[in-house]
């Protein structure tokens, strides 16, 4: 829907700011990112907009990580803890 790239610094290591708006499921979401690599900044801005879209959905949940259960440690006679 919209894409804008703006230089926010000068020189060899200049950074650019990417702002964009996308339409997903008939709704508009915006994303923004800063970086020296404009392709990477563009991808990050797009992912920012997609994440905002996913945050509005009930059926999308963050991944659930099972608890890690460690086996009990063996204690040897005469060992210092």
Angle value at C-alpha 58, between 50 and 28, nearest 5 degrees: 35
Average pLDDT, the chain: 86
- State the total domains in the chain: 1
In-domain check, residue 24: yes
pLDDT in tens, 22-44: 999 899 999 999 999 999 999 99
pLDDT at 7: 94
In-domain check, residue 72: no
Stated pTM of the model: 0.69
Q: Are 30 and 45 in contact (CB under 8 A)?
A: no
pLDDT at 59: 77
In-domain check, residue 73: no
Nearest-angstrom CA–CA distance, 43 and 22:
13
Range of the domain at 16: 2-55
């Amino acid at each position: 829907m919209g894409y804008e790239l703006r230089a926010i610094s000068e020189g060899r290591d200049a950074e650019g700011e990417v702002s964009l708006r996308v339409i997903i499921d008939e709704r508009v979401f915006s994303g923004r990112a800063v970086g020296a690599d404009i392709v990477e900044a563009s991808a990050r801005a797009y992912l920012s907009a997609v994440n905002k879209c996913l945050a509005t959905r009930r059926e999308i949940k963050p991944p659930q990580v099972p608890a890690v259960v460690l086996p009990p440690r063996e204690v040897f006679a005469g060992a210092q803890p």
